[in-house]
Amino acid sequence: MVRRSGGRSQSRFDHPPEEELLRAEEAAALLGVKRATLYTYVSRGLVRCVPEKGTKENRYLRADLERLKTRHDARAGHAAVASGALRWGEPVIDSSVSRIDERGLQYRGHDAVALATGGHLFEDVAELLWTGHLPSVSTPWPFSEGGLTRGASALSAFERSDPSQGTRRGSGPKPRGAPPLTPSALAALLPRDTPPLSALAALVPLLAASDEGRFAAPVEQEQARARRIIRQMGAWVCVTQAPGRVSRALKEDTVAASLATAWDSKVKRAPELLNRALILCADHELNTSTFAARVTASSGADLYASLSAALAAVSGHKHGGSCDRVEALLTEVGRPERAAQVVHGRLRRGEAVTGFGHRLYPQGDPRTPPLVEAALSVRPEPLRVKVARAVMDTMRDAGHPPPAMDFGLVMLADALGLPPGAGTLLFGLGRTAGWVAHILEQREQGHLLRPRARYVEPSQSPAAK
């Protein structure tokens, strides 16, 4: 049989070699039809099939089957369901990384809160998300050259150079073979008040440019690459304010300890409490930044590009950037005794009090109490923690939902004396572990994420004209 498409002949047996093929019973089950109906679709040129060598059976292209099923679902009124699924609706992607249900949040079947409060390292949880196995013995990620290509190993050359000797602003690109960008050089390129997350968003593409083996790497190499990227990110958070601390932070054994050193926290338990926060942020199913990472990864982009897409998404004020709004709220309140005045004033004017309630947790975000507990355990209690506590009490007394994780992250950052933007940074850096897991899972699934748009006529309002 030959059918014509776009003015050229096309056999039903022509197909890209990377396309997934299904057996007849699998194809019929996917469409929800009998085999006879499947054969009818083949005869009409709607589904292509490929003879299996050595047998009389055929295999059917999954892409054709899914395209046909989508068309039938749309005709049956399922298009609205698909559209709504992108707005906190029904699940749209199969994933084994994390689950949210009435029991709370689980990472690969392990309770996230129990992992965060049970003595595990953030690194252990990352390995769990990537491999499905929780290490029986905690294994830090010391900064080393192991497992990466020559190009990537050059990234730590700045440790062997004078960290104070950076590239001058506007001095042009480095010649081939010169040491890679130093912390001082990156600091010279960025304003001093650059938020930590924005600094890391600038760092990741620079790491990519030095890694010649980043394309189509095996899973084991990608996991090693991810360890290195996350270790770098944890150490470079201070690059605009204190670039000299980056090399010291990289000498720490864990990501949480790197953060504590980079931010020069004076709280002795800072690594332990930061480790808890990173674990609680490690994954949260198909949130906006994770979806951005998966869409980018599905295109064949490398690990750095996929992480950069997620970093861009997490900066938005409706996602990880909501921590910045919580910071602004606490700054506006200023003193505990002003909490009721500011909160009720906002509510009276119809303004949002950011950081309270979560659509997936009607009874309260289970990740928040461990963060609040960690913040309240720091003594002496900082003024901003007292302010946060007063805001929580005011919202509770007014009958509003309990605080979400964003509020807890800011509260903990204030307890540890961390700089502005630290809450958003903790959100993004912790979530990097989940992003990597979803990137690897998306690659394993192999298909391109390409939703369709349902066309609607343009508005005819005067403003539209």
**Residue ranges of the chain with pLDDT lower than 70?**
1-19, 73-92, 144-180, 460-465
CA-only gyration radius of the chain, Å:
26
pLDDT in the model for residue 156: 46
List the beta bridge partners of residue 22. 60
Residue 49, beta-bridge partner list: 60
CA dist., res. 127 & res. 135, Å (int): 7
CB 343 within 8 A of CB 395: yes
Q: How far apart are CA 327 and CA 81, in angstroms?
A: 37
CA distance 215 to 107: 28
pLDDT on residue 167: 38
Strand pairing report for 49-51 and 2-5: unpaired
Helix axes 219-235, 196-209, angle to 10 degrees: 140
Helix (H, G, I), strand (E, B) or coil at 21: strand
CA atoms 374, 379, 383, 389: torsion sign = positive
Residue 87's pLDDT is 53
Q: How far apart are the C-alpha atoms of 283 and 112, rounded to whole Å?
A: 9
The pLDDT value recorded for residue 263 is 97
What's residue 416's pLDDT? Answer: 98
Q: Are 449 and 442 in contact (CB under 8 A)?
A: yes
Cβ(404)–Cβ(352) below 8 Å: no
Q: What are phi and psi of 302, to 5 degrees?
A: -75, 175
List, for residues 23-64, the tens digit of each pLDDT value: 999 999 989 899 999 998 998 888 988 887 778 789 998 888
How much of the chain, in percent, has pLDDT values that exceed 70? Answer: 82
From CA 287, how far away is CA 295, in angstroms rounded? 12
pLDDT (tens digit, 9 = 90+) per residue, 186-215?
Answer: 999 999 999 999 999 999 999 999 898 899
Q: Tell me, what DSSP letter sits at residue 242?
A: -
Report the distance separating Cα 127 and Cα 347, nearest Å: 43
- Say whether 133 sits in a helix, a strand or coil: coil
- For residues 66, 71, 76, 80, the Cα torsion angle rounded to the nearest 10 degrees is 90
pLDDT single digits (tens) 235-281? 999 999 999 999 999 999 999 999 999 999 999 999 999 999 999 99
User: What predicted TM-score, i.e. pTM, was given to this entire model?
Assistant: 0.77
Helix (H, G, I), strand (E, B) or coil at 228: helix
- Which residues on neighbouring strands pair with residue 423, listed in sequence order? none
- Identify the pLDDT of residue 84: 54
By the 8 A CB rule, do 128 and 108 touch? yes
- Residue 207, token pair as written in the block: 């790491």
By DSSP bridging, strand 58-61 and strand 21-22 are: antiparallel
Nearest CA-CA partner of 358 in 301, 413, 284: 284
Of 425, 261, 234, the C-alpha closest to 327 is 425
CB environment 350-367: b (16+ within 10 A), e (fewer): eeebbbbebeebeeebbb
CA distance 223 to 226: 5
Distance CA 160, CA 130 (A): 32
Location of structure tokens 């949040």: 105
Q: How deeply is 346 buried, as exposed, middle or buried, from its count of CB atoms within 10 A (0-12, 13-18, 19+)?
A: middle
* pLDDT for the residue 101: 87
Which structure tokens are listed for 79?
């298009």
Q: At what angle do helices 122-131 and 219-235 cross, to 10 degrees?
A: 150
pLDDT score recorded for residue 376: 97
Give the span between the Cα atoms of 408 and 356, in whole angstroms. Answer: 10
CA–CA separation, 216 and 454 (whole Å): 34
Distance of CA 222 to the CA centre of its chain: 16
Q: Which two tokens stand for residue 416?
A: 């540890």
Tokens of 293: 């990472």
Q: What is the token pair recorded at 25? A: 């019973």
Q: Given this model, what pLDDT does residue 289 score? A: 94
Residue 91: predicted pLDDT: 52
